[in-house]
Amino acid sequence: MVAKVQCPNCRQQIAHLTGQGACPSCGAPVYLAQREVTILRVLGSAFFASVLVCAGLVVFMVRLGYQAPGAAPMLNYIFVGIAVGELGMMVLIERALLAQETVRGVTGAAIVLAAMAESIAILGVAVFFVNGALDWFVALLALSVAGFLYLATRVPGYGRLLQEYALREQ
Ligand SMILES: [Zn+2]
């Protein structure tokens, strides 16, 4: 098994972990955190992929000539309001979960951020189907992507925290 990480315990650069996923110098269980980081990358990518599916779905419906009922223009404003609120909530929830200083807190923060960012794109799909509001859909998609960009800036720090907490929780 190959890893390009610095051991959080002895600070040695690790090229190859032991069979049990431990640091060859000090025996620290580096593998556990690596696995968590990998899982979070896969989950984050899956959530982001679903945003692309949302965009693809709307493009497809536009090409099909979908006619929205246009029943509730107020929904555009309400959903953008919810989306902006969600972006603020993301920061607060992240702060609360990271304050736990546990592996579960860090993984929980990453998953909640990804799920909330993704849900903003779903709001965009909803306003498109109800109101045919392509510009509002694009606005909500942009807010969703902004949420993912925020998460992307946080992930390197999460990796370091996971290394530290996984070691402590052994
Ligand atoms: Zn070590």
Q: Does residue 11 fall inside a structural domain?
A: no
Res 78 pLDDT > 60: yes
Count of domains for the chain? 1
Q: Does residue 6 fall inside a structural domain?
A: no
What's the pLDDT score for residue 151? 94
Q: Does residue 10 fall inside a structural domain?
A: no
In angstroms, what is the span from residue 29 Cα to ligand 1's centroid? 8
Q: Specify the amino acid at residue 71.
A: A
Q: Does residue 85 fall inside a structural domain?
A: yes
Q: Does residue 71 fall inside a structural domain?
A: yes
The pLDDT confidence band at residue 31, using thresholds 50, 70 and 90, is low
In angstroms, what is the span from residue 27 Cα to ligand 1's centroid? 6
In angstroms, what is the span from residue 91 Cα to ligand 1's centroid? 33
The whole domain housing 52 covers: 32-168
pTM score? 0.83
In angstroms, what is the span from residue 104 Cα to ligand 1's centroid? 23
In angstroms, what is the span from residue 165 Cα to ligand 1's centroid? 15
What's the pLDDT score for residue 122? 97
